[in-house]
Amino acid sequence: MSKEMLEAFATLEEKKGIKQEVIVDAIKAALVAAYKKNYNQAQNVEVDFDERKGNFKVMAVKTVVDDDQLQDDRLEVSLSDALAINRAYEVGDEIRFEVTPKNFGRIAAQTAKQVIMQRLREAERNHIVDEYSQYEDELITGTVERRDNRFVYVKIGNVEAVMPRSDQMPNETYNPQDKIRVLVTRVGSDSKGAQIVVSRTAPDLVKRLFEQEVPEIYDGTVEIVSIAREAGDRTKIAVKSSDPNIDPVGTCVGQRGARVQNVVNELGGENIDIVRYEDDPSDYIANALSPAEVIAVQFGDDDEEKSALVIVPDYQLSLAIGKKGQSVRLAARLTGYKINIRPESEVEFVDEDKDENSDTNDNDNANNTAAKNEEASSDSAEEAISDEAEDAADDTYDTKE
């Protein structure tokens, strides 16, 4: 039995990654539980394991007391009995007696098995959590195993991850043995064991795909500042560069669009808009609504609400809003602003103050012009009178001649 036991330990450690010490502790706890249930002796029971022989022993621990103080022989041993074992024992010492039953019986064996299995499940769960927690928020390749009404089950290494319906792409079908790349969004445990949750719809999935396709993003030269995504349909990402000589948008698009196209193909044809991040919010919002043309961006007075009124040409209104409001909705998520879009023809009131100033200036200009005209007319009249006097003098002069 001892040889088979040690071989089983080695197999569990190799296949399940559970160390022998953990398995031994589980068996010790199981034997104590079984002994307690059948012999009501667990209060002072320990289990020893002989690592060389692979044998377990149940030991009862008793405290040495004076002969006249002995009350419970399950917990105590008289001093005279202790001295018969070893003359060195004193009152207060603990003595361990082997009480291993020859046969625990069917109930004891079943109890031990249940406790062992429970401890093994806990150890395996902790091992999985420890091993895969490093992959949280990372991209990993898995194999579809099966699916039901709630989840797609994806095999990752030696464990099975789940992909909830909300994390499944609406334009994709998952069949057994399909190879898919997923983002690990959660590694944890519950009453049923370890649980690894993966996603195909998380915005960070797009970020990790671009990191693989664009070396400048991976090394930090180009940074993805924000991502807004409606999985399976459209994604907007804002990028900036720490190197003024590198165009972040062009870098992500790649030569002839090769880099962004690889990401699009991985996402089943999902449209991806790459825009330049700007520190100026008005420029940033204008870029986020690309390819629509923006005339002006005006911000609300409430800084906490972070709202913006965007004015676009009439013929660009539908493009700026997008199908079912998708473009402006994604732009709002990307920038963090509540965006209201108005066509140019409906916002004459926007520059009312400026128009009033213009009217005042126009009136002033008109008045100045009138005054100048009056002065010019007066000067012209005086010049005309002077000219006439000179002509008369000339005529007189000519006449005299």
For residue 177, is pLDDT > 70? Answer: yes
**Which pLDDT belongs to residue 365?**
46
**Which pLDDT belongs to residue 371?**
42
DSSP category for residue 280: S
**Which pLDDT belongs to residue 389?**
35
**Which pLDDT belongs to residue 146?**
93
| φ and ψ of 400, to 5 deg | -60, -40
Judge whether 297 and 310 are in contact, CB under 8 Å. Answer: yes
Query: What's the pLDDT band for 2 if we cut at 50, 70, 90?
Result: low
pLDDT digits (tens, 9 = 90+) for 386-400: 443 334 333 332 323
**Which pLDDT belongs to residue 104?**
56
Query: What's the pLDDT band for 377 if we cut at 50, 70, 90?
Result: very low
**Which pLDDT belongs to residue 112?**
65
Closest CA to 230 of 329, 374, 373: 329
For residue 32, is pLDDT > 90? Answer: no
Distance from C-alpha of 367 to C-alpha of 169, rounded to nearest angstrom: 69
pLDDT digits (tens, 9 = 90+) for 42-88: 567 888 877 777 777 788 888 999 988 888 877 888 999 889 988 89
| Identity of residue 374 | E
**Which pLDDT belongs to residue 67?**
87
The residue that leads in pLDDT, 327 or 385, is 327
Task: Catalogue the E-assigned strands of 68-138.
Answer: 76-78, 94-98
Structure tokens at 380: 């012209």
Distance from C-alpha of 173 to C-alpha of 178, rounded to nearest angstrom: 10
Structure tokens at 54: 């692979």
The residue that leads in pLDDT, 363 or 284, is 284
Cα distances (angstroms) measured from residue 239 to each of 46, 183, 219, 255, 369: 63, 21, 14, 17, 54
**Which pLDDT belongs to residue 293?**
93
Structure tokens at 207: 């970020």
pLDDT digits (tens, 9 = 90+) for 154-173: 999 888 899 999 999 998 99
pLDDT digits (tens, 9 = 90+) for 269-305: 999 999 999 999 999 999 999 899 999 999 987 777 7
Judge whether 72 and 61 are in contact, CB under 8 Å. Answer: no
> Mean pLDDT score of the chain, rounded to an integer?
81
For residue 144, is pLDDT > 60? Answer: yes
**Which pLDDT belongs to residue 53?**
74
For residue 354, is pLDDT > 50? Answer: no
**Which pLDDT belongs to residue 132?**
85
Report the share of the chain in percent with pLDDT over 70: 81
pLDDT digits (tens, 9 = 90+) for 320-339: 999 999 999 999 999 999 99
For residue 360, is pLDDT > 70? Answer: no
The residue that leads in pLDDT, 235 or 98, is 235
